[in-house]
């Protein structure tokens, strides 16, 4: 296999026959594409994609105190949670996002007011609980 920055497989069969090479190339940081029925897909390490979404998707989390509770909301998104402390509110927000990602994949992705949340859903699915909490604090550009 050449040292090109992109490795192209013109068919699913050729990628399948060289699957170890596909994974080896992505591990070396190369872009790998696989064509199938006119559709081109990219294979890349999940952590690299997660790190990109961590920077590219802004969490816009705002905290407020109200009646002895902490409210955590994502400005511009329909997510609001509350808890007795900041940690509780953020844990509840994280859990709400996990439930949303499941609902988005099951039924919401075609809804006009949800279809643009693909990147958010991918970030949620690729992140651990700790990584999501870190994203709330440090994510986005």
d(CA 132, CA 98): 10
Q: Residues of CATH 3.40.1620 domain(s) within the chain?
A: 6-44
Q: Profile the chain (141 residues) by mean pLDDT over runs of 10 residues.
A: 72 95 92 94 93 96 96 94 97 97 96 94 98 95 72
Q: What is the pLDDT of residue 112?
A: 94
Q: What is the pLDDT of residue 3?
A: 54
Q: What is the pLDDT of residue 4?
A: 63
CATH of domain 49-138: 3.30.160.620
Q: What is the pLDDT of residue 1?
A: 45
Question: Residue 66: what are its φ and ψ, rounded to 5°?
Answer: -150, 120
Helix (H) or strand (E) run with residue 32 in it? strand 31-36
CATH of domain 6-44: 3.40.1620
| Nearest of 47, 13, 9, 11 to residue 27 by alpha carbon | 47
Residue 68: exposed, middle, or buried by beta-carbon count in 10 A (0-12, 13-18, 19+)?
exposed
Residues β-bridged to residue 81: 72
């Amino acid at each position: 296999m050449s040292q090109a920055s992109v490795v192209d497989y013109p068919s699913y069969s050729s990628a399948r026959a060289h699957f170890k090479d596909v994974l080896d190339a992505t591990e070396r940081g190369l872009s790998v594409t696989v064509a199938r029925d006119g559709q081109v897909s990219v294979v890349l390490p999940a952590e690299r994609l997660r790190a990109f979404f961590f920077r590219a998707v802004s969490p816009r989390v705002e905290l407020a105190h109200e009646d002895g509770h902490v409210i955590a909301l994502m400005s511009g998104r329909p997510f609001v949670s509350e808890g007795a402390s900041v940690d509780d509110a953020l844990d509840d927000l994280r859990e709400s996002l996990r439930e949303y990602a499941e609902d988005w994949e099951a039924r919401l992705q075609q809804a006009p007011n949800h279809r643009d949340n693909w990147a958010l859903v991918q970030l949620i699915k690729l992140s651990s609980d700790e990584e999501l909490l870190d994203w709330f604090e440090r994510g986005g550009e």
